[in-house]
Structure 1
Amino acid sequence: MNCCGFTLGKMNCVVFGIVLSLVLEVTYVSTSGFLWNLPKPNILLILTDDQDVVLHGLTPMHNVQQLIGSMGVTFSNAFASSPICCPSRASILSGMYAHNHRTVNNSLSGGCYGSYWRKKVEPKVLPVVMQQSGYDTFFAGKYLNEYSGRNVPPGWREFHGLQGNSRYYNYSLNENGRMNSYSDRYLTDLITEKTIAFLEERKVGMRPFFAMIAPPAPHAPFTPAPRHRNAFAGLKTPRTANFNVISGNLDKHWLVAFSQKMSTRLVSTLDVYYQKRWESLLAVDEMVGSIVNSLNQTGELDNTYIIFTSDNGYHLGQFAQPFDKRQPYETDIRVPFLVRGPNVPKKSIVSAPISLIDLVPTIYEWTGIIPRGNEDGISFHAYLMNPKYNPLFDRGFHREILIQHWGEGNDQTFNYQCPWKKSDGLSECTLDADCHCQDSRNNTYACIRHFRFGTNKLYCEFQDHEQFVEAYDLDEDPYQMENLGYEMLPIERALYSLALHNLTTCVGSSCRIVNL
C-alpha cells in the first residue's frame, strides 16, 4: 500500500500517518522557508477599541512605542476590513470578511453575536483552533458588542468577558461562566490585573499560550483613570485640512454631504473628547508595560509575539462629522499595528499594506497550524521578517483590501430629541453632537483600498438610490478632498466595479486573486 510515497502494509500505513501527524505538531517549515522547532511561540494580542492612528492616537503611548514598536515592527499601512467594532472583531477572530461571517453591524439583528455567528462561525474561530492545537487560551475585556449571558464562547480556557459594549465603570464580566459585577473598579486596570495573574501563574514548561486582551479605551465615554485625569489638559483635536469642511452634493455621499458646519461649542466638545481619549489610553499604556515586564520576569518574553492594534480608527470633525467611525475615509479605516516577537527585526517600519483579516493566517504560520481554508486574508510574516523590502516599489506587487459597512437607520435608532423624522433612516444622532447623525441606512458601501506600483487609491460604491461613487488618489490627495469617482475613465471605473463585485462575493482563496 502506497503511503506518502512509501510502500507499507495497511496497519503500518495507519501508524505512519499517526506518527507523521505528531511530527508535524513539533516540527514544521514556514512559508518563509525557515525550519522552526519547539518550543512553539506564545501569542499575545492587545486590541484597543476605536483607536485612531491618523489623528496621532499612538502619540501618548510611550510604552507601546518603546516596548513593542522599537523592539519590533510598525506597519504603516494597516486597515480594518470594517470601520465598526463588532464586524471588525468578528473578522479578527475568524479571518473572514464581513460578508462571510455575516456580522454586518453592532446590533443583534445585524449579526453581532447572532445565531449565525454562534452556530456557524464561532465554533471554528482562532481561539478554538489554537486550543485544539495544544495552546492554553486566555481572554479579558470586550468580546463582541452584543455578547451577554453565562455562555463562555468556545476556545477559551480562561475567560473574563465584558457584557455588552465598552464602559469603564459599572459593568459585569462573565468570568468562566460566573457573572461578576463591578461598580468602582476601573476596567482597564482590572483587565491588567487578570492578565498579569494569568502570566505569573504559568509554570515552567507549560504549553504555549494564546491571550487576547481587549481594554475599552479609547471608546466613548472616553473615561480616563482618576490618576490620568487632565494629564493632557488643553489638548485640542488636530485641525486637519478636512476638519469642519462641508461637502457639496457631488463631493461626498449623502450622509456626509448632509452635514452642516459644526458650531464653536461642538468643536470645543471635540477638543475635550480628544483630550480624554488620550488620557484613557494611558492606563492601556501602563498595561503594556506591566505585561512586557511580567513576560520578561517569567522568561517568556523572547518567545512571545506581541501584537498591538485596534478594531477600527476614528474621526473627530473631519468633513464636519463630529465623532465616530463608520466612514470609508483614512481616519476610520486605518489602525495602529505593531508587532514584536522571535527574530522580528527591531526599530523597523513596514509599508506593506495589511488588513486585520491577515492576523489569523499569520498566527497560523507562526505556530505551524495548517490553514483551515476559509481564511480570506494572507500571512504578513514575510513582510515582518524583511522590513527593507518595500512592495510599493515592486512593479509586480499588488494588494486589494476590501472595506465594508452596512448602514443602520430604523425606528429603533431614531432619536426623538433631534429634529429629524423616522422616515429619514438616520442613526447615531446625539445631543452632544448637536444632532449631527453618524450613520444612516443608505450609508452602506463597499470599497477597495488599492495598492500597487504607482497606485495608492480608494474606490467606493454606495448602495443608495444614486448608486454614489467615491474615489481618491491618496498620494495626491491624502485628506480625500477631491472625489475622482466621476472623473475616471469609463474602462477604469468598470474594472474597479468588477473587482469590487468579485471581492464582495469572494470566499477564502478567491479573496486573494483579485488583481487590478
Structure 2
Amino acid sequence: MNYMPKVSKLLKEKVARLCYLTKFVSTPICCPSRSSILTGMYVHNHNVHTNNHNCSGEEWRKVHEPRSIGVLMKEAGYRTAYLGKYLNEYEGNHVPPGWDYWIGLVKNSKFYNYTVNLNGNRVKYGAEYEKDYFTDLVTNQSVKFIMDHFSTHNDKPFFIVISYPAPHGPEDPAPQYAELFEDIDSHRTDSWNYAPNPDKQWLLQRTGKMEPVHVAFTDLLHRRRMQTLQSVDDGIFSTLRDHNYLSSTYAFYTSDHGYHLGQFGLIKGKNMPYEFDIRVPFFIRGPGVMKKFRFPVLNIDIAPTLISIAGGSVPSYMDGRNLLELLALKKNVSSSSLSPWRDTILIERGKMPKLRKIRDRWLNQKERYGKEMRLNDACSKPEWQHACSGSQQWSCYRTSDGRWRIQKCREKRGRHCACDKRQKRLASRSENMKNSTFALQWKSMTVYVEERRKGSDTVKIVNTFKGIRLFFFSRNLTNPDRAACSVQQMNCFLHSIDHWKTPPLWPDEYGQFCFCQNSNNNTYWCLRTINDIENFLYCEFVTEFVSYYDLNDDPHQLHNIVYSLEMNTLEQLSERLRLLRECQGSECERYSSSTWEQHLHYNSCLSVNEMKGITA
C-alpha cells in the first residue's frame, strides 16, 4: 500500500471508518482463491483446486455459479455488477447468473489485445493506451455503472465487484508511470535469496541461490508490478463522494493471493504456504467499522459478510464467517449467540491422499533430514571452511546446488596393493565415516548430474535422471522454442526480450533463461494460528514432509523447527488439520476456534492420543 498513495489516502482519511484486518487466503492460487471469495467456501468444498481443473468448468457452472455472491446479493434486492478478471479459464461464452451488468475478461489477465464479454457480447480490444488499457477500462466502466445507477435506479442499493488485472502479468504499466521506482528494492526481505533450504520441502531443498540474471529479473519485475498499480486510482471513490454516498458505502479492498520475488531463491510466483504468498492486504471502509485489530480473517469471510450487510441470512454451506460479528466482539457486545472468533485457519493446495500416521512420517523425516542439519551445524565452524592443510582433520565445501558436504583431510599419497601380478596404485576414492556420511574425493553424484544437465542441448536430459531430478533447471538457452523449457511434472517459464512489449523492457544483453518455479509434489495442507500467545505455521505435504515455523521468533520463516515439537503436540496439530481438511459449513469455524477440542464427539477428558480408536 506504500506504493498506492491515492488509494491509501482515501482509505485512511480522517472521516473514514477504516479497519485493517490480518487477512489470509485459504489457498495462494488465482482461480481457487477467487472461487472461495465468490462462494464463501474452502477449496475442498467448491472443488476448484487449480487454475485449470474445474476453473469455470462444468461443475462450477452447474453447482456454484447459481449460488455465488452475485446471485445472493441480487436476491437481497441489490443491483449487481462485475467488471474485470473473472476466472482463469472463463471462455466468455456466458454471463454468470446474478449479475445485472457484466464485463468479464476472457481467460487470464492482459492489459492490451484482450477480449471481454460485455453483457453477453464478445468485444475485442487493441493495443492503444487511450482506448484499450484494461485497468482504465475497468475504472471507467465502473464509474459509468455507478453514475447510471444514481440516475435510473436510485431507489435500490448497488453491489459492484471491481477486479483489476494489476499487478498481474504481463505487468504492462501505463506509459506515464514507466519511469517510476527505478531503484525500488522493497521485495528484498530477509528471506530474499535465502537458499538452499535443506530443512524445507522438496522444492526448496533443490533451489539454490539466484544467479545475477535472476536477480536483475526480480528487480525489474517488482518495478513493473508497482508501476501497474498506479493506474488503480481514486475515480470510483471520487464519484461516490460527489454524490454523497461515500459515507454510507462499504468498500472492501483486498487481493486473491500474495506473491514472491526471489524469496528462498524462487524467482517469481505464488503457490507457497509462506506469509509472502498467503497474507494479503485487507481494508474495510464503511459505517461502524473500527480500527485495526489482530484476528485471522480469510477470503471465505467476504461472502458471508456481504450477505449480512445486505440483511440476508448466511447460507449453511458457507465455511466463512460474518466479519460484522468480529466487529461486535471487538466492541464487547454481549451476545450469547456470538462465539469467540477463530485463532486458526486452513491453508490448502491440492487434494489430500491417505498418508501414514504423523508419528511415522515425522520419525522418518527426522532420520532422513537430520544429517543435512548436522552438516549445516558442523560446517558453520570457521575452521572447517578452509581447504585441508597442516594438521586439519575435516574440511567442508558446497556443492553446485549450495549444500554443505564434508570430507576428511588425509595424506595425498596413495596406498598400494598387489593385483594381477603387479603393483598398482589404489586411490582411495571414498571413505565411509562414522556418522554414515560418505565423503567423496571426486565430485559427488549431485554435482555430476548437474554438470551433465548443463551440458545438454535441451532440458529433456532431466528425464534421464529419474529419481534424482534435482531442481529448477536454470540456464541460458540458445533454442527459443518454449518446448525446450519444459520439465515433466513441473511448472516452467521461458523469459526473453519478447516477453514484455511495453517499457521498461528486458535488456537485450541479458538474454533469455528458463526457470522451473513449481512442482506437482508441492501439495500441502497447513494450519496458520495467531492468538495472544501463539503465532505459527504447521504444514503437511503430500510427500509426507512436515514443517513448523514459530513466527514470534522467526517472522520470515527461515527455520523449520518441527523436530523441537513433542509428539503429543504434533499429533494434536495433525488431528486438527485433518478435521479442518474435511470440514463443511459451521464445522469449519468450530475446528478453527481455540476451543476446538470441546467440539469433538469424544469424552473431553481424553487426550488426542486416547481419542484414537474410539468411535463417536
User: 1:88 matched to which residue of 2?
Assistant: 33
User: 1:404 matched to which residue of 2?
Assistant: 348
Task: Determine if contact 1:237/1:271 at 8 Å carries over to the other structure.
Answer: no
Task: Determine if contact 1:143/1:214 at 8 Å carries over to the other structure.
Answer: yes
What is the CA distance between 1:76 and its match in structure 2? 4.3
Task: Determine if contact 1:142/1:216 at 8 Å carries over to the other structure.
Answer: yes
Alignment of 1:312-391 (within 5 A): 312-345=257-290, 348-384=291-327
SS in 2 for 1:117: helix
Distance 1:331 1:119 in 2: 34
Asked whether 1:103 is paired with 2:48, we answer yes
User: 2:589 matched to which residue of 1?
Assistant: 512
Match of 1:234 among 167, 170, 183: 183
Match of 1:476 among 544, 553, 559: 553
Asked whether 1:62 is paired with 2:5, we answer yes
Distance 1:228 1:469 in 2: 44
Task: Determine if contact 1:350/1:383 at 8 Å carries over to the other structure.
Answer: no
Encode CA deviations 1:342-368: one digit per residue, 9 max, x unaligned. 2324xx222221001001111122111
Distance 1:181 1:497 in 2: 50
Distance 1:283 1:64 in 2: 10
What is the CA distance between 1:397 and its match in structure 2? 5.9
SS in 1 for 2:220: helix
Alignment of 1:39-54 (within 5 A): none
User: 1:129 matched to which residue of 2?
Assistant: 72
Task: Determine if contact 2:490/2:516 at 8 Å carries over to the other structure.
Answer: yes
Distance 1:325 1:63 in 2: 27
SS in 2 for 1:361: helix
User: 1:247 matched to which residue of 2?
Assistant: 196
Alignment of 1:269-288 (within 5 A): 269-284=217-232, 286=233
1:197 maps to amino acid: K
Rg bigger for which structure? 2
Distance 2:487 2:309 in 1: 52
User: 2:491 matched to which residue of 1?
Assistant: 427
Distance 1:186 1:511 in 2: 41
Q: Relative to 1, partners in 2 of residues 1:279 and 1:74: Cα closer, same or farther, differing over 3 Å?
A: farther
Encode CA deviations 1:175-219: one digit per residue, 9 max, x unaligned. 010000001310000011100001111236321111000010001
Q: Which moved more, 1:334-343 or 1:69-78?
A: 69-78
Q: TM-score, with normalisation over the residues of structure 1?
A: 0.81
Distance 1:103 1:59 in 2: 33
Distance 1:400 1:329 in 2: 15
1:442 maps to amino acid: N
Alignment of 1:66-81 (within 5 A): 66-70=9-13, 71-81=16-26
Q: Relative to 1, partners in 2 of residues 1:358 and 1:397: Cα closer, same or farther, differing over 3 Å?
A: closer
Encode CA deviations 1:289-331: one digit per residue, 9 max, x unaligned. 1111101122221221001000000111110011111000000
Match of 1:201 among 131, 139, 148: 148
Distance 1:134 1:388 in 2: 29
What is the CA distance between 1:421 and its match in structure 2? 4.2
Task: Determine if contact 1:245/1:261 at 8 Å carries over to the other structure.
Answer: yes
Asked whether 1:439 is paired with 2:518, we answer yes
Encode CA deviations 1:410-437: one digit per residue, 9 max, x unaligned. xxxx96423x642xx2113434694332
SS in 1 for 2:88: coil
Distance 2:515 2:331 in 1: 44
Asked whether 1:219 is paired with 2:286, we answer no
What is the CA distance between 1:245 and its match in structure 2? 1.2
Distance 2:118 2:328 in 1: 37
Q: Relative to 1, partners in 2 of residues 1:234 and 1:98: Cα closer, same or farther, differing over 3 Å?
A: same
What is the CA distance between 1:386 and its match in structure 2? 6.8
1:198 maps to amino acid: F
SS in 2 for 1:270: helix
SS in 2 for 1:457: strand
Task: Determine if contact 1:267/1:317 at 8 Å carries over to the other structure.
Answer: yes
Encode CA deviations 1:467-516: one digit per residue, 9 max, x unaligned. 00111111110010110223211111111111111111111011011127
1:325 maps to amino acid: K
1:360 maps to amino acid: A
2:207 maps to amino acid: S
User: 1:267 matched to which residue of 2?
Assistant: 215
Task: Determine if contact 1:344/1:385 at 8 Å carries over to the other structure.
Answer: no
Asked whether 1:308 is paired with 2:253, we answer yes
Distance 2:204 2:74 in 1: 44
Distance 1:335 1:307 in 2: 13
Q: Relative to 1, partners in 2 of residues 1:485 and 1:61: Cα closer, same or farther, differing over 3 Å?
A: same
Q: Relative to 1, partners in 2 of residues 1:188 and 1:431: Cα closer, same or farther, differing over 3 Å?
A: closer
Q: Relative to 1, partners in 2 of residues 1:470 and 1:73: Cα closer, same or farther, differing over 3 Å?
A: farther
SS in 1 for 2:343: strand
Q: TM-score, with normalisation over the residues of structure 2?
A: 0.68
Alignment of 1:487-498 (within 5 A): 487-498=564-575
Distance 2:211 2:267 in 1: 10
Encode CA deviations 1:53-90: one digit per residue, 9 max, x unaligned. xxxxx111112222123423343411011101000000
Distance 2:288 2:342 in 1: 26
SS in 2 for 1:499: helix
1:188 maps to amino acid: T
Q: Relative to 1, partners in 2 of residues 1:298 and 1:248: Cα closer, same or farther, differing over 3 Å?
A: closer
Alpha-carbon RMSD across the aligned residues, in angstroms, is: 2.2
What is the CA distance between 1:451 and its match in structure 2? 2.0
Identity, % of aligned positions: 39
User: 1:502 matched to which residue of 2?
Assistant: 579
Structure 2: which 5+ runs fail to align?
Answer: 333-339, 352-472, 474-481, 497-511, 598-616
User: 2:613 matched to which residue of 1?
Assistant: none
Alignment of 1:19-38 (within 5 A): none
Q: Which moved more, 1:163-172 or 1:219-228?
A: 219-228
SS in 2 for 1:358: helix
Bigger RCO (CA 8 Å, 6+ sep): 1
User: 2:437 matched to which residue of 1?
Assistant: none
Match of 1:173 among 116, 123, 133: 116
